[in-house]
Structure 1
Amino acid sequence: MKKYTTAPHSKLLISFGLIGFGLMIATAAPVASARAEPKQAEIRKIVQSNQSQNKEIVREGFAKWANNTGSFFALLADDVEWTITGRSPISKTYTSRKQFLEEAIVPINERLSARIVPSVRGIYAEGDTVIALWDGTATAKDGKPYTNTYSWYMTMKKGRIVKVVAFFDTIELTDLWQRIPVSKKN
């Protein structure tokens, strides 16, 4: 069996070749990462811009509602998925704007003599999610005040609300619901 050996100068050339290759990679890596950094910064700017826009859309929606110059619910996508947590008479997941308005909002409003007026405590945004913490005050048809604190977690897409998870005092809402019945319409 013949044994092959590498000549000393061949080993040296291989070593220099590997060193050269390593240096080439080492010098190319910062260039590649320098190119990647502006892209990441650009992406962060876009995300921050979307967050700011989404936050402003929600803020304007609440302002119009509070001033009685528009409906916050106009921001909802037609196929919005709105989940009301808890165990109130309206706690469930609604799968359209129409269903949510007809089965939750209209029956609440039918029990009020003065509409709910929102007072926003804070609006927070992260990615495509906007969180609103707000208080709502109204007067029920029996003259008693209706007050509640809400926290809505809204997912935004192209300036519209596509998904909501809503938290509030369901005991307060259930009390309003049971105290003031509404007539069934045929």
Structure 2
Amino acid sequence: MSNSKLSVATLPRIAFAACVWVFTAVSGVAAADEASNKATVLKAFDAWAAGTGSPYDLLADNVTWTITGNSAASKSYGSRDAFINEVIKPFNARMSVGLKPTIRNMYADGDTVIVFFDAAGTAKDGQPYKNTYAWFLDLDGGRIVKASAFFDSIAFNKLWELPAAGE
């Protein structure tokens, strides 16, 4: 009978130890995923700054990219093609020197990487274009599946009013 009482009294301790072990194991995996996601995004930003790639290379085909606020491009884009064709290509067509990003800070929380950065280039009219951005990027398997972008819509709209190349 005392063995029975001992095992019943010990059960909560064993269950607690098992929960701690599982939490520690899961936390370690989550931390590794966060570090991997952050490294993936950082590598894409480094390629963008070097002119050899961009974070857009990480977009999943079915990405949802939302530009918040009241800019001329503010809405949700339901695919990589929609976002690239409706925003990135027209944006780049208004630039004579493309944007170069400078990261202020980068954070990771689970599958989300937050990038706070400045970007500058030169518009077709010779004027500098500068803006500050905050992107919230949800990754799955190293691909961006959801993004929310925040930036100065006044600076963006001023550029957007310029004719694109070929207009």
Q: Does 2:61 align with 1:61?
A: no
Correspondent of 2:96 among 108, 113, 129: 113
Q: Does 2:71 align with 1:100?
A: no
Residue identity in the other structure for 1:36: C
Q: Whose radius of gyration is greater, 1 or 2?
A: 1
Work out the CA distance in 1 between the residues paired with 2:91 and 2:23: 46
Counterpart of 2:67?
Answer: 84
Alignment gaps of 5+ in structure 2: none
Question: Deviation string for 1:33-67 (max 9, x for gaps)?
Answer: 21222111000000000000000000000000000
Q: Taking every aligned residue pair, what percent have the same amino acid on both sides?
A: 43
Counterpart of 2:163?
Answer: 181
Q: Give SS of 1:69's match.
A: coil
Deviation, structure 1 residue 25:
2.2
Counterpart of 2:152?
Answer: 169
User: Structure 1 runs of 4+ off > 4 angstroms?
Assistant: 19-23
Partners of 2:94 and 2:165 within 8 A in 1? no
Q: TM-score, normalised on structure 1?
A: 0.85
Q: Give SS of 2:91's match.
A: helix
State the Cα RMSD in Å: 1.7
Deviation, structure 1 residue 71:
2.5
Correspondent of 2:132 among 149, 160, 164: 149
Partners of 2:93 and 2:165 within 8 A in 1? no
Work out the CA distance in 1 between the residues paired with 2:11 and 2:74: 58
Q: Give SS of 1:136's match.
A: strand
Counterpart of 1:160?
Answer: 143
Q: Does 2:15 align with 1:35?
A: no
Q: For this pair of structures, how many residues does the alignment match?
A: 167
